[in-house]
Structure 1
């Protein structure tokens, strides 16, 4: 049996940025066009590969799952990379955000550091690997690759605020990495495996003593993921980091925050389904109520701050809290709507953090003098203003783009944020046959999602009025085309998500159905044989 060549596409999202980052690392300062061209070509390749995986998982592969053994060792002993509808959709989202962030960084931010592009590629390698891996230890490896690259990127274009935020960010993530290792060790000591499919197959037969130790290990592991997902009270670091990071890095941090929620979704639905015996639905209530508390914390933070960067951070916390509550609620149709919300909210917040820097260029003379004074007494490494032709009607673009971002984040019509929240409400009110009707927890979640949207629109419109209308004198900003296009492209993607909501929901419904059937993953991962070596005919004497 030979390996179908299409299975090699599963490993491309890991290998391509790894090779590109290695090629870019030795390039010295000054070769900006060459480095940008190589990095951009790599991300375009990742997008094309991700779209191919979407097509293959949605009808090209048996069961919609492609399994790749990196060293040709069969599961559970080998390193298994698994592509399904959900991971393929996440790869597309990562490639779209990476294209926008990289394009935005080209005229300014990528030019002030030697290794911006190589770190960016290694970050993509870690993110893509986390979406594809089916082994907990390799998940730890990809997480550390992702985080190690993000440490350098958060410090990119350093200043005092960025240095302080990065130290806090690094300390929190190092503590989370330690918890990750402890949790993985406890799970392996209890079950003898770290392969997710193998773990899901063994959990129902574990003795009671081992099951208690397994639950302890899973709880420790969950703390690491929930810290990365900014669940309350573990998300205190996120608003400061978002506000301090450079715009293209902050856009990627929006996705990195969601990677933790993705892993929680993947592990909990695979390992603790209805068929898990005494461990069935373990931790679901904690995820649901913890997610709701996170929504409250994020909404209160948005209402209390008047800084756009911190506002974006609190909006990301609200988004993460909503996803965690959806996972904990444990309803398949709600997970479908939650996945659409995952994509829509990530795009909206990423567009907003890119837009913030452009809006900050609207300065009054007094504000400009204050900024000049601050730069004279602080350590700064700020990129020069971009050269090139300015964008006509800059004020009109900024105001319209800000209004679109506000509508998406708040979940108001007519863009994808409204479709996402409408989908959540519809799933809660119409659970389907055989599913209990909405109870107190469901009504509470609906109320929090609705209230957080109202708070978001109040906070964002307050910021918009102060910025665009209430200023004494507004100087027309100079915008570079390379900075405007990524924001406009992300807003266009949101419009397309709205127009094509029906096929997107259909695809995500199939993805949700897959992850709610753990037996399918167990069969595909553990039942896929390694590729046999070449056979040679015996030589004639």
Structure 2
């Protein structure tokens, strides 16, 4: 019986890959059928759907670590067509990690929005779920065309979420955000079309098979197509000098939307890491490690820009935005060197920094509200707009209702202590100070840079001068972050001793505490998480397992007819052992 249950679980688990994509789509459609007055029901549906999607992602994360899972991979053949002809979903350790990270952050943002922000405009919950659908699809898809589709779903939803709540600042920064992302999408299409014209395929595993055998006469065009495609992803990853849109847009968004956007830049970095290791790994022939030096240089310039931007920031929202830029640059620079030990340390650093930045976006709303002593500001029509900073007051007719002031909730004991402790934890993680996960991740990256030929290191770029510069930037930007966050914390927590105690809703404090508790958990279980990220990095730099699992995935046989022939099957496929 136990063997039967294990076999049943093994066969049914790949179908679970559809849940993070299909469930948000179903929930978004369902909420659109509900009236805007049913906000409480929509909120419950949003939180429940995100919770179930998170549970599915955690189950998938557990599944890819099982010894019986071939190569730590899960392959689902949509329509039962084998790759590269059919649409394929691929789950490995990296995509499972990113999926869990995105859904943890999304669940906390959905709960935080339930206090009042979800009422600031229409269709918040539908847009939120479509955003999750796009994120999950981008992490799970195995071909460039569907990657573009999921990117556009994600971006279209983000346009609505960014403008949620109205206000001049949101509209102005939203237009910049939309324009730059439309340009990036155009570059995406051009690059993908060129790759298809050269190789005849858009399946990622099939692209990895074609690149080493590319004719010398076509290799220059291949590199040009890859560079155009990479530019689109670098824009989405907020790499300098293409990131002028990020800080105004993220800081103008409502707090839960800005926190959710903290993972958006990591989608661009994830895609670059995925395609670069598949197409231009050490076994790509004459194209091996193509563009790696450019990725390292762009990442380090982004780190410097983010660190200086944090030091120059006066507002908490801008501080959080530049922290997101700094985190993205750190991840990109570490990945560009192509060393598996350094990449493993970077993958440990990535979730902790993303969660801390998301928590800082949420805290910025609470602290700014406390800074005004909980008083409401006046909108353009003279009505009170509860706890909105002056530049974010909505336009006439779109203000929050006066009755929504009660949603702020009752005062809870030690609310100021909660805000202060949460801000301290954010500071330690983002600046990379001991003893939390930010320090562990940066220390592991520094160790890999100082010992590039250590046990288990791969044959990527030799760090050389670039490695020493990255080492200096890791320490220097951490110091700049510490100074900036400490200075801002002193101004908000010490400069006004006579300020009234903050008033917090339980649904506001709980998500912040949960995000920071996850950072603490990463520290407590650092050994287990680091083993997972090391296995992830090893598989990234040995892409043969990915290619073999996708291209050798068997379609499931259809039902047998009385004449002995087999009918068509619409079930997903499974990877060949």
**Shorter-chain TM-score tier:** over 0.9
1:323 aligns with 2:328: no
1:253 aligns with 2:290: no
Please tell me whether the aligned partners of residues 416 and 498 of structure 1 are also in contact (alpha carbons under 8 angstroms): yes
Please tell me whether the aligned partners of residues 310 and 481 of structure 2 are also in contact (alpha carbons under 8 angstroms): yes
CA deviation profile, 1:334-369 (whole Å, cap 9, x unmatched): 00001111111101100100011100122357x969
Matching residue of 1:430: 451
TM-score, scaled relative to structure 2:
0.90
1:463 aligns with 2:488: yes
Q: How many equivalent residue pairs?
A: 537
TM alignment of 1:373-384, pairs within 5 A:
379-380=394-395, 381-383=398-400, 384=404
1:53 aligns with 2:60: yes
CA deviation profile, 1:414-447 (whole Å, cap 9, x unmatched): 1111111111111112221476875211111010
In structure 2, the CA distance between the partners of 1:528 and 1:24, relative to structure 1 (3 Å rule), is same
Matching residue of 2:568: none
Matching residue of 2:146: 138
CA RMSD of aligned residues (A): 1.9
Matching residue of 1:389: 410
Matching residue of 1:27: 34
CA drift at 1:404: 1.0
1: CA distance, partners of 2:424 / 2:82 = 52
CA deviation profile, 1:487-522 (whole Å, cap 9, x unmatched): 001111111110000000011111111111111111
Q: What residue ranges of structure 1 are gaps of 5+ in the alignment?
A: none
1:196 aligns with 2:204: yes
In structure 2, the CA distance between the partners of 1:387 and 1:452, relative to structure 1 (3 Å rule), is closer
Query: Quick check: 275-284 or 429-438, which moved more?
Result: 429-438
CA deviation profile, 1:350-396 (whole Å, cap 9, x unmatched): 0100011100122357x969x54888596444543325332211111
Please tell me whether the aligned partners of residues 28 and 114 of structure 1 are also in contact (alpha carbons under 8 angstroms): no
Matching residue of 1:181: 189
2: CA distance, partners of 1:439 / 1:272 = 20
TM alignment of 1:128-527, pairs within 5 A:
128-363=136-371, 371-372=377-378, 379-380=394-395, 381-383=398-400, 384-385=404-405, 386-431=407-452, 432-433=454-455, 439-471=464-496, 473-527=498-552
In structure 2, the CA distance between the partners of 1:266 and 1:438, relative to structure 1 (3 Å rule), is closer
TM-score, scaled relative to structure 1:
0.96
Other structure's SS at 1:281 match? coil
2: CA distance, partners of 1:461 / 1:141 = 42
Other structure's SS at 1:274 match? coil
1: CA distance, partners of 2:155 / 2:62 = 30
1: CA distance, partners of 2:469 / 2:154 = 35
Matching residue of 2:3: none
2: CA distance, partners of 1:373 / 1:11 = 44
Please tell me whether the aligned partners of residues 341 and 534 of structure 2 are also in contact (alpha carbons under 8 angstroms): yes
In structure 2, the CA distance between the partners of 1:292 and 1:104, relative to structure 1 (3 Å rule), is same
CA deviation profile, 1:73-128 (whole Å, cap 9, x unmatched): 11001111000111111111111001100000001011233311111110000000
Matching residue of 2:49: 42
In structure 2, the CA distance between the partners of 1:310 and 1:217, relative to structure 1 (3 Å rule), is same
1: CA distance, partners of 2:203 / 2:272 = 15
